[in-house]
Structure 1
Amino acid sequence: MSTLPPGAAPRDPALTLEAGQTVKVTRPSARFMLAHPAHLIAFGFGSGLSPVAPGTVGTLYAWLSFVVISLWIEPTTWLWIIAGGFLVGLWACARTARDMGVHDHGSMVWDEIVAFWLVLAFVMPTGFWGQFAAFLWFRLFDITKPAPIGHYDRTLKGPGLRGGFGVMFDDIFAAFYTLLVFALWRSF
């Protein structure tokens, strides 16, 4: 016989959190993503839910969204979008990291999106192969995290906006390295 009052739904104690408790989400779902606007943004509107290489899928989403949005806006408007996206990313990544109990979960791809928008804003106009090269270089730097990216990736993670800054900042460095490669390539 149930100890619940009539009409009450059973509560799953594994899913019910009291104030101050945290949970570690290892495989986020669409339900988790849609539970808060910060999650939706941090997960790159679903691109971060890819079971395989979510960072790469998020970067592909950035590329596609850049090309589509560029049809309607002036190129200089991208700088405002990127700056705003970075600031929103501080909040979204910090909130999502807190809710997941993981400082920089692989499914949080907003940092890749904003950083790759920055790359494309500066390498454009270029054709498909130039954009593809930018994609490959960016992914290489984001995955391998050469110095000082790896240092910042390790030291700036944590709770709150500082942690959100750490999530966003290491990808900005990867974007900088990508742009440096393009600047050197174009100088020859």
Structure 2
Amino acid sequence: MPMQYDASPARPGARFLLAHPAHFIALGAGSGLSRIAPGTVGTLWAWLAWLAIAPRLSPGAQGLLIAASTVVGWWACTVAARNLRVADPGAIVWDEVVAFWLVLWLAMPMGWWGQLAAFALFRFFDAAKPGPVRWADGLFKGFGWRGGWGILWDDFVAAFCTLLVIALWRFWGL
């Protein structure tokens, strides 16, 4: 069966999730299996995981975690997309996880309302894909390492847009 160039959500299950370590990572420890809004569920999982992990690490170690998670995620997203035979499956949520970790790492400390605003902004930029996010989403398409990077890249641009809004919000004292 030839591979599809399709962004429609694949519907893997628990068997796929547990069949390979890359699948477990790419599907955000199962959060990508959600039938409703897997990207939002993956981002919620990222938020909770960050709140559990980050206090135990120095800021430098947090940055190293994000860098390592990007490299490992690139591999995992590449493998999972190839095995699902879909270029950018909706069930792959590691891109949301590592990009939202980046937002939280750079924007913290924030109270609960600030984190909720960061979550909402990130989800807006990731889902609506305005301007630069849409550009990034179309830049690296397909299968293999290029496609695996493409899965991550638009979410990093969404994270940058989120951080820009937060920086402007703080600058203007809102």
Q: Same fold (TM over 0.5)?
A: yes
Instruction: Report 1 or 2 for greater relative contact order, CA contacts < 8 Å, sequence distance ≥ 6.
Output: 2
Query: For the residues of structure 1 that align with 2:56 and 2:155, how far apart are their CA atoms?
Result: 26
**Residues 38 and 91 of structure 1 are in contact (CA less than 8 Å); yes or no, is this contact kept in structure 2?**
yes
Partner residue of 2:53 out of 49, 65, 69: 69
Higher helix share: 2
Q: What is aligned with 1:172?
A: 156
1:138 and 2:107 equivalent? no
SS in 2 for 1:76: helix
Q: Can you list the C-alpha shifts for 1:48-93, whole angstroms capped at 9, x where unaligned?
A: 0011100000000000000000231112211111111111111111
Query: For the residues of structure 1 that align with 2:165 and 2:118, how far apart are their CA atoms?
Result: 9
Aligned length: 168
Structure 2 length normalisation: TM-score? 0.92
Which residue type is aligned with residue 148 of structure 1? P
SS in 2 for 1:125: coil
Structure 1 length normalisation: TM-score? 0.86
Q: Can you list the C-alpha shifts for 1:113-155, whole angstroms capped at 9, x where unaligned?
A: 0000000001111100000000000000000111121122123
**Residues 54 and 109 of structure 1 are in contact (CA less than 8 Å); yes or no, is this contact kept in structure 2?**
yes
Q: Pairwise mapping of residues 1-188 of structure 1 onto structure 2 (< 5 A)?
A: 21=1, 26-188=10-172
Identical amino acids, percent of aligned pairs: 55
**Residues 22 and 99 of structure 1 are in contact (CA less than 8 Å); yes or no, is this contact kept in structure 2?**
no
Q: Which consecutive unaligned segments of at least 5 residues does structure 2 have?
A: none
Query: For the residues of structure 2 that align with 1:182 and 1:30, how far apart are their CA atoms?
Result: 37
**Residues 38 and 92 of structure 1 are in contact (CA less than 8 Å); yes or no, is this contact kept in structure 2?**
yes
Q: What is aligned with 1:13?
A: none
Query: For the residues of structure 2 that align with 1:148 and 1:171, how far apart are their CA atoms?
Result: 11
Q: Which consecutive unaligned segments of at least 5 residues does structure 1 have?
A: 1-20
**Residues 97 and 104 of structure 1 are in contact (CA less than 8 Å); yes or no, is this contact kept in structure 2?**
yes
Shift of 1:180: 0.1
Query: For the residues of structure 2 that align with 1:26 and 1:127, how far apart are their CA atoms?
Result: 36
Query: For the residues of structure 2 that align with 1:27 and 1:113, how far apart are their CA atoms?
Result: 19
Q: Which has the larger radius of gyration?
A: 1
